[in-house]
Structure 1
Amino acid sequence: MILRPATGADIPAITAIYGPNVRDGIASFEYDVPDASEMERRQAAILAGGYPYLVAEIDGAVVGYAYASAYRTRPGYRFACENSVYVSPAAQGRGVGRALLDQLIDDCTALGYRQMIAVIGNLGNHGSIALHRACGFTVVGVLPSIGWKLDRWVDCVLMQRPLGEGDRSSPVGP
């Protein structure tokens, strides 16, 4: 497996991985599958914000991707980031998500972020919850029935992990 920064050339594979999560799943609360141009716009915005955006390749094929983004846009949240990790069904259970999330944690720590948040659709998303637990996240809350998708109410699980010094020191100078 090779982890590397994502590029525009990865957009077709990223779009193909994300699409079924929108169409058939509740990991994403979107209803309409974004096309490649929308996924390219989103990737450009994340990269322009200075956040890492990674892909995992196996035998030359992109099998997963992960990125960080702003948790919230107000300045008081500037040391917190949110992660997103998606792995193709064929590559699940092969350590791809773990490798991507571990690298994302390292990259965000190096960028000076102090907290990473995961917003996971559905209490029943055991794979994502287990992945985040294995990477040091803890459940900090559940938003019951916060979303409506596929004709049912869906919860969000909030998980959090400190990065670097976390809250043990000030992230800014005196």
Structure 2
Amino acid sequence: MLEEDSNRDRRRLPRHLRRTPETERPFTYEIRAARRDDLADIREIYNYYVTNSVVTFDEKKWTHAQWVERFDYLQKLGLPFLVAVSPSGQILGYALASPWNGKTGFRYTAESSIYLGQAATGKGLGRALLSALIDACQEFGLREIVAVISDKGAEASVALHERFGFVEVGRMGKVGHKFGRWLGTIYLQKSLEQPKKGLRALFGQLSG
């Protein structure tokens, strides 16, 4: 049978029997506050980077108990901890703000952390999570956000933060060692608007 005849026969098939090109499902998600039942997925996302990258200097996987402890601590302080969730309920990535330092004098400054699941990279989710985290930090009343980024293989992360107004304020070289490599850190900082409320009471649990 000639290809032309074959095409003609396919065009004669009833509509419900014709093959149509598969279309890629749109990448959709909701950003909301993290919950305890999200921690198993969050742990898996983070542990991937622990074992496969120098994005984090951690060398041992975090346990579920460690994540519960961190979640409870951030909840106690009231600091933002956000997740991006697919329509099916899968955690695609997370963003959080943690105290920059344990001393009360640093109570208006927090460190940001953003991690994406491998299936969610390159789709604009990091940008959405960072934007939501900045808004949440500003609403909370923070004055400064600091991002500490590895100086190896993190060019995209640096560029993302710079697009949101983070400015490089310093570097440290060879302060970390992982996978047989010496690693440095890049410090980026973003100033927020005047706080809408004081944080002294919220950070009262921090040591002096």
8 Å contact kept, 1:122–1:157: yes
* Alpha-carbon distance in structure 1 between the residues aligned to 2:68 and 2:38: 9
Q: Identity across aligned pairs (percent)? A: 35
* Alpha-carbon distance in structure 1 between the residues aligned to 2:152 and 2:54: 10
Matched, 1:127 2:156: yes
Instruction: Please say which of residues 157-166 and 18-27 is displaced more in the overlay.
Output: 157-166
* Alpha-carbon distance in structure 1 between the residues aligned to 2:160 and 2:62: 26
Matched, 1:44 2:72: yes
Aligned residues: 168
Q: Corresponding residue for 2:127?
A: 98
Q: What is the TM-score normalised by the length of structure 1?
A: 0.91
Letter in 2 for 1:69: S
Matched, 1:21 2:49: yes
Per-residue CA deviation, residues 7-35 of structure 1 (Å, 9 max, x unaligned), is 01101110110001111211111111012
8 Å contact kept, 1:26–1:122: no
Per-residue CA deviation, residues 118-153 of structure 1 (Å, 9 max, x unaligned), is 011224301211111121111111111110111111
Matched, 1:2 2:6: no
- The answer for unaligned runs of 5 or more in structure 1 is none
Matched, 1:66 2:101: no
Per-residue CA deviation, residues 70-117 of structure 1 (Å, 9 max, x unaligned), is 011222211111100000121111111111111111111111111100
* Alpha-carbon distance in structure 1 between the residues aligned to 2:130 and 2:189: 13
Structure exhibiting the larger radius of gyration computed from Cα positions? 2
Any idea what SS the aligned residue of 2:38 has?
Answer: helix
8 Å contact kept, 1:56–1:62: yes
Matched, 1:89 2:89: no
Q: Corresponding residue for 1:164?
A: 193
Structure 1 counterpart of 2:183, from 145, 154, 169? 154
Any idea what SS the aligned residue of 1:69 has?
Answer: strand
After superposition, the CA RMSD in angstroms is 1.6
